[in-house]
Structure 1
């Protein structure tokens, strides 16, 4: 390991699921601005929907999502009435002139929803949005929530991809993060989905958790591979207790350090690739036949708030508390407080709290950062074709980095590329092109 690599282990950086990143959103973006952005969506455009369900029936201590624990269903029922109202408001804004290409449920735990409520929610989406009846449908699943009835309803609604939260199968690690879930339960849910014709399955795994070792991570990965998922996401645990107070329940003295996290990550990645999966970006893997692999091979891979995706839609509309929408003009985030969100949408308004409008420089940097995160490099020629003279400052910065830090970036075949040994640190390399980072006070998780 070189000195440059060793020093980068201690660095923190954004995950770059957007640019500018969420800490740089501001309240100057409001409902009026977003209404203009919606009105400007071209007729016939394909749009994606993301629905955030902000409840769990248990609180996993590692989680950094906007969610709250509830053991009663009444708050969920009350929230759903508000979500129905938001769907009606947004659907009225875009009418039938757009086509919904993809619908994604995240959380929280979308699988907390009662089967009848999930069925009604899908009916309202399909009644309000053009094309929603044939859209790709993906749901984040907590296997502990699942029943045969829920599996039947989701499959009946046209579920095309399920993403199962696993994290780790080691009971000691599970107890340390308050997420107990047996391999047998996970396997039963996988089999239940496949028996109902769900064609694509993803498993979420995490390294860098308390008590994890290389051997224990490898054991979890080995078990996961026996289920032969179509995709595997291998995330590094983001320890941000200043942002999520429940993470203070995790004993920091048993967290792996930066070197151990890197070793876990590399060992797990090797095992997954030896099993025939292609590496996608920094933390995803997919079978050669999967659409994510095909998108990566064709240079069509993208990155958004769900991670790596082959979704080509430029517009992603977020529904529910704290959800983030992406429009051609910029980003907009909903109110995070569920109660405040409900008060707002119940009166027929959108729940916009903040956002950011993109400058031309933002667009250039956003594209460069996304290509680095997806392809580990970018073409100056393509940048010039896309952005013209606006990309000159960024290309100058890239030239300086390539001349002064060849461990991070090199010029090769007319492109700037991240050397193979530096790819685990691509977040810190992408951060070199972040014009906002030095201005803010936000703290970030370890980059590896």
Structure 2
């Protein structure tokens, strides 16, 4: 990719567009009261997804941008699980009936830190409060350094059928630079334990753009991952924003690769995975030909949500735990980020909503266009505008930076159909940002 294109359009501050509008547009104007009303209005027969955020880790990785906290003791975790159970009951009291569930995701943090007994009790409560589909996906994020044999057996017995394993890099030099020392053997043992207990759908997370990373080390990490044959891999670019995430200040900025090096790393990993039989999905995912993501992409029903790419077609996501984001019919809601504030609300018998956003018809239009771009690298703007009752010509004329992207050869535009050129997929977020009505920055 041309260095001038990278310099012009690569910007770590650009949103990842997992949701639209982005969290920066959320406000306290949407309160717990609004969430209660929105929950009561949910259709009783539409499947929903559940997301549970467990914020605790036994060790803090310096690159991490998620709300997490360190604890070496079990008591804070068990106290938190008690609050989480109370929140589940509170939400269940506000929905019209036991809603059908097609997808559950335990994220964090390190969700397995809650331990076997507490995890089984938590999942049992969810099953009592909601109606789980027989085909429901139950997924959990795994730190292989902390996955015990007992916990792996518990996950299998509880019906968990997908695990997302954090790897990031197998290079010990890179691992030390981000405080995530994790051997290949630890990862392989975790994979073997999960598969032994029936959890055969495995995801790996890799990161490029970390300190001291090189193209050869990225390729070697990809090859090591391929040898364990996960069903899919997410290959994220490290976003260095130390002004927002203080732990990232511990990372040596001088050791970070520049935009050109990052693009080279991303391309090398992509080539390695595709050569091994994986299909490229959207911006940063790769999946085997029979994986749900690949099938969803082929069928044109790949989705984008707060967890990234998904084959889940649920319109509703209910979030539990600190910082969790919910997507209800009328808009978005987010829980208190700080665990202490979250606990105070739940202990008082009220939902822990701190802010949210009420969607407009125009928001839904922008969201649909951005989602198709992020999922398919192309979008029929005219067709989506017509489906939402908007004038395509006026909408295209108002899209910021779109003409500039076309002039620079990043996109092709033909009668309202926009296609991102394959060689420029690395700047896909910049293309999506052309349709972001709230991106309060000057044009490129």
Measure how far apart 1:190 and its partner are.
0.6
Superposed CA deviations along residues 370-410 of structure 1, whole A, max 9, x for unmatched, are 11111111113431342012655433345983585352322
Aligned to 2:418: 416
**Conservation of the 8 A alpha-carbon contact between 2:279 and 2:289:** yes
Aligned to 2:326, the other structure's residue is in SS state strand
TM-score normalised by structure 1 residue count = 0.94
Structure possessing the higher relative contact order (Cα contacts under 8 Å, 6 or more residues apart) = 1
Aligned to 2:153, the other structure's residue is in SS state helix
Measure how far apart 1:180 and its partner are.
0.8
Aligned CA distance change for structure 1 residues 314 and 145 (closer, same or farther; 3 Å): same
Superposed CA deviations along residues 189-215 of structure 1, whole A, max 9, x for unmatched, are 111111111131000000000110000
Aligned to 2:84: 83
Aligned to 1:433: 435
Aligned to 1:445: none
Aligned to 2:221: 220
Aligned to 1:34: 35
Q: Where in structure 2 are the equivalents of 1:71-110 lying within 5 Å?
A: 71-110=72-111
**Conservation of the 8 A alpha-carbon contact between 2:234 and 2:285:** yes
Aligned to 2:249: 248
Superposed CA deviations along residues 165-188 of structure 1, whole A, max 9, x for unmatched, are 000011111111111110011011
Structure 1's unaligned 5+ residue stretches are 441-448
**Conservation of the 8 A alpha-carbon contact between 1:169 and 1:183:** yes
Measure how far apart 1:79 and its partner are.
0.6
Query: How many aligned positions are there?
Result: 440
Query: How far apart, in 1, do the equivalents of 2:323 and 2:416 lie?
Result: 41
**Conservation of the 8 A alpha-carbon contact between 1:302 and 1:374:** yes
**Conservation of the 8 A alpha-carbon contact between 1:203 and 1:233:** yes
Superposed CA deviations along residues 197-256 of structure 1, whole A, max 9, x for unmatched, are 113100000000011000011111110000011001100011111111111111111011
**Conservation of the 8 A alpha-carbon contact between 2:10 and 2:430:** no
Aligned to 1:317: 318
Aligned to 1:230: 231
CA RMSD of aligned residues (A): 1.8
Q: Where in structure 2 are the equivalents of 1:48-127 lying within 5 Å?
A: 48-127=49-128
**Conservation of the 8 A alpha-carbon contact between 1:96 and 1:130:** no
Aligned CA distance change for structure 1 residues 231 and 400 (closer, same or farther; 3 Å): closer
Q: Where in structure 2 are the equivalents of 1:202-351 lying within 5 Å?
A: 202-351=203-352
Query: How far apart, in 2, do the equivalents of 1:438 and 1:150 lie?
Result: 46
**Conservation of the 8 A alpha-carbon contact between 1:218 and 1:271:** yes
Measure how far apart 1:100 and its partner are.
0.9
Query: How far apart, in 2, do the equivalents of 1:400 and 1:257 lie?
Result: 24
Aligned to 2:409: 407
Query: How far apart, in 2, do the equivalents of 1:136 and 1:439 lie?
Result: 39
Query: How far apart, in 2, do the equivalents of 1:391 and 1:343 lie?
Result: 48
Aligned to 2:5: 5
Measure how far apart 1:411 and its partner are.
2.3
**Conservation of the 8 A alpha-carbon contact between 2:207 and 2:238:** yes
Structure 2's unaligned 5+ residue stretches are none
Query: How far apart, in 2, do the equivalents of 1:192 and 1:82 lie?
Result: 30
Aligned to 1:361, the other structure's residue is in SS state helix
